[in-house]
Amino acid sequence: MEITIVTGNKGKFREFEELAAELSGGLLRMKWADVPKEEIQAESLEEIALHAANSVLKSGRLDPPFFVEDSGLFIEALSGFPGPYSAYVHKKIGNEGILKLMDGVENRRATFKCVIAFVSAPSAPPRLFVGSVSGRIAKKARGDKGFGYDPIFEFSGRTFAELDTKEKNRVSHRGQAFRKLLRYLGVSYKER
């Protein structure tokens, strides 16, 4: 079985490719398409991913099955900032900017969330699969693996950038959402 992921981010494609290989035992192969999708401004990842999936479907430029994914970091003390605009904010102010905003802030709770909007057939409405992981904003960036906010997101004492891919996939928001998709597809998976 083949599923296409629609993204402009090659790193994201690679992460899903590894997840698929690892969890489906070869039953599921990921393909990559960088076709245009409409990203709306909204506070919910669900709304953004749903709209994006529908826009790809309507454009007729890609045949199902495919999915789009949207994810974000929600910091409790910052009312959920940067949330759905995580990628933009990271590009502009980086982990350094987030650490500056969190300077002197006691409550460091944060959640990584991922939403997959999956389209199985031309006439089927997209289905959503959501995953999330709770952790803390570190005092300093640590680790050199992963990407984005990984170096400042602490889970059980280590940052996501200090975990290797397999360790990260086991607990990450993206891993959780993808497992739900695999279960829905009936692709048996195993943890290694």
Per the CB < 8 A criterion, the answer to whether 64 and 56 are in contact is: no
Q: Of 14-22, 56-64, 87-95, 132-140, which segment contacts its own copies by CB under 8 A? A: 87-95
Q: For residue 164, with 0-12 CB atoms within 10 Å meaning exposed, 13-18 middle and 19 or more buried, which class applies?
A: exposed
35 lies in the site for its own copies, by CB under 8 A: no
Query: For residues 114 and 128, what is the distance between their CA atoms, to the nearest angstrom?
Result: 10
Q: CB-wise, 69 or 162, nearer to its own copies? A: 69
Task: Give the dihedral sign, CA 64/123/174/46.
Answer: positive
**Residue 178 three-state SS:** helix
Residue 54 is encoded by which pair of tokens? 């529908």
Q: Does 34 qualify as catalytic in the annotation?
A: no
Q: CB-wise, 89 or 182, nearer to its own copies? A: 89
81 lies in the site for its own copies, by CB under 8 A: yes
43 lies in the site for its own copies, by CB under 8 A: yes
Q: Of 11-19, 73-81, 119-127, 160-168, which segment contacts its own copies by CB under 8 A? A: 73-81
Query: For residues 93 and 28, what is the distance between their CA atoms, to the nearest angstrom?
Result: 37
Which x/- pattern over 88-127 shows residues binding its own copies (rule: CB under 8 A)?
xx-xxx---x--xx-x------------------------
Binder of its own copies out of 26, 41, 106, 122 (CB under 8 A):
41
